[in-house]
Amino acid sequence: MCRVFNSQTPSADLKKKKNRMEEEADTGVSSRTERKALEKAKILQRERERKIFRLVGRVLKKPEADRSEEEAAVLLLHGETVEELCKRQVRTNVLKRKQEEVFDDADELKSKVRQLAVAVKQAKHLVVYTGAGISTAASIPDYRGPNGVWTQLQKGRTVSSSDLSKAEPTLTHMCVRMLHKEKLVQHVVSQNCDGLHLRSGLPRHALSELHGNMFIEVCTTCSPVREYVRLFDVTERTSLHRHGTCRRCSHCGSELRDTIVHFGERGTLEQPLNWKGAAEAAKMADVILCLGSSLKVLKKYACLWCMNRPASKRPKLYIVNLQWTPKDDLAKLKIHGKCDEVMSLLMEELNIQIPVYDRAEDPIFCLATPLRQEEVDSHTREVIAPLDGQEDCLPDSGEHAEEATAVQGGWFGRGYGKGRKKKKKAA
């Protein structure tokens, strides 16, 4: 038997392997060098483009008559940059116009309110959509107004936190409640979390708080979901995707959570959001009145606008807002005025007296669930103080406290109604 031996020696194999490794190393160094060179070239290119944009921008700011021949030549040489900067300026001007507050003069305002009054009287199913603009009179900042939260942040300014517990229902809140009482308004859909609609006395079944209520925390472990109404802002420790309030359900011991729908979230709680009530009201509406809302968020909720219907069969839209809204072109009437002023004129046209908010009749004091002894120090927010002599309405312990926590369906739910009847019979 013949054996075939490899003619190459082990040293030759090692040499070949070493050569291959050196070649691969050279290739790796080469590719890294190329990548770095490419990245450097991109950085230099961006820097050149920035310089050109700055140069062209300075020239465009000058009146045409004041430009030198060299500057005119720069504009001719960089035509694409000139075109892009002009487009940007147009977009900026449009945005500024949309942010400007426009006021109708006194005569025009009265004329528009008269048209609105006719629509309110003739409406078979009127639904009101409210935004932050109806609460500015209560010293609660809006979002997109001249002094709004987003406006200030865009300018790089700090936003001071306001104590919402000191706010009280505004004239607009009281007007809306009265219009519902007079059966002229069937449902209210609010983006606000300040709880002022309910504190005005508006029944819970007639309200959808799409973004939650700062005074309500809930136990989602209990079935149905158990609500706890508090006299302070329960959102002290909550934020995006973090809803725990560090207090516990008195029935099952689970951690309570706030009801707020933070930016970037989708609300799923049945109450106080009441999406079902909002969608059903929008479906039945023949008139929608928008008060103090930019509608930039509400426009995204397709179920509120009946856009699947032909234009002639959609609800007639009336908007009261000082700034542009994305629904202006679809509106039957746009009123540029402050909500309180417009609603005051409207109630005058309808010959309906505007009720004054009375803290002694604020339902929150009778419906609030007291904190347990171990929870007294669970927050640092200011508590809404009752008027002198109103302390008797506050539940403190025992059966009264149990009754308050058992309210299902909200502040004006059936549980609350039954509790009130029992008290009257006992009296």
Give yes or no for a cis peptide into 272 (omega within 30° of 0).
Answer: yes
Whether the CA torsion 211, 215, 219, 222 is positive or negative: it is negative
The number of CA neighbours under 13 Å toward the Cβ of 392 is 3
Q: Maximum Cα–Cα distance for the chain, whole Å?
A: 122
Report d(CA 386, CA 366) in Å as an integer.
10
SS3 assignment, position 390: coil
Rounded to an integer, what distance in angstroms lies between the CA atom of residue 248 and that of residue 220? Answer: 11
Point out the annotated binding site.
219, 222, 249, 252
Instruction: Look up residue 421 and give its two tokens.
Output: 């009847």
Instruction: Name the active-site residue from 211, 243, 336, 379.
Output: 211
Torsion of CA 314, 315, 316, 321, to 10 degrees: -110
Peptide bond preceding 315 in cis form (omega within 30 of 0): no
Name the one residue in this structure whose structure tokens are 């979230």.
265
* Assigned token pair, 56: 């062209």
Dist. CA 151–CA 264, nearest whole Å: 19
CA neighbor of 189 nearest in space, from 104, 108, 95, 293: 293
Express the helix, strand and coil content of the chain in percent, nearest 5 each: 50, 10, 40
Binding-site positions for Zn(2+): 219, 222, 249, 252
C-alpha to C-alpha distance for 373 and 401, rounded to whole angstroms: 13
Copy the structure tokens of residue 420. 């009130």
User: Does the active-site annotation cover 211?
Assistant: yes
**Active site residues per annotation:** 211
